[in-house]
Amino acid sequence: TLLAELIRLCEKLQITLGAGQLLVIAKSDTQDLAARIQAIQSIKKQDPKPILNSLITLAKDNKPSIQVAAINKIAEIEPQNIANILNKLWTTLSTQAQQAFIYSIGKNSSSEGDKILNTAFSSLLNGNLSKSLELDVLVAAEKSKNPNLKKQLKKYADIVLPSIADLPDILSKNSV
């Protein structure tokens, strides 16, 4: 859209748009989605911390792509604290936003992030985790340096790999 392109053009020309102006666009339901997402993405890392509250509000938006953009920006601004910032909120978000959050806490290790991943991994092992989040949790656990997550990952592999090894036999018996 025109507004999204104008925001990008300002960046290319190194015309600084303040976080306040960008947040007005990002929060506006009357702006089109592309402009809102571009506004969030254009917020600079060195902008003041008070924008975090606005980004948290945007993470609660009813549009999943706005939630994802807000989570990615929070992860950029506060990579070591994203788990602490969103720990109470993340399970209420859209699937896409939950995936972005899990990716972020896997990439940016922290004690709170490790706790969240441990809980999610336990849910995976118990069959209680949403199928749409399973791969994200596995990838985040694999990236993690947390020894408990590594143990859980091995436990998962011990459960799943034998059944995958039997797959050709199962398929050949069922194809008759």
Q: Is the pLDDT of residue 44 over 90?
A: no
Q: Residues 127, 129, 134, CA angle at the centre, nearest 5°?
A: 100
Q: What is the pLDDT of residue 162?
A: 61
pLDDT, averaged across the chain: 85
Q: What is the pLDDT of residue 116?
A: 94
Once rounded to an integer, what is the mean pLDDT over residues 141-159? 84
pTM for this one?
A: 0.79
Q: What is the pLDDT of residue 172?
A: 59
Q: What is the pLDDT of residue 149?
A: 86
Q: What is the pLDDT of residue 163?
A: 60
Q: Is 49 helix (H, G, I), strand (E, B) or coil?
A: coil
> Poorest-confidence range of 66-70, 79-83, 100-104, 156-160?
156-160
Q: What is the pLDDT of residue 114?
A: 92
* Token digits of residue 156: 């998962």
Q: What is the pLDDT of residue 24?
A: 85
Q: Is the pLDDT of residue 129 over 60?
A: yes
* Token digits of residue 170: 């199962």
Whether the CB-CB separation of 118 and 95 falls below 8 Å is answered with: no
User: In angstroms, rounded to a whole number, what is the distance separating the alpha carbons of residues 52 and 93?
Assistant: 17
Q: Is the pLDDT of residue 168 over 70?
A: no
pLDDT-based confidence at residue 63 (cuts at 50, 70, 90): very high
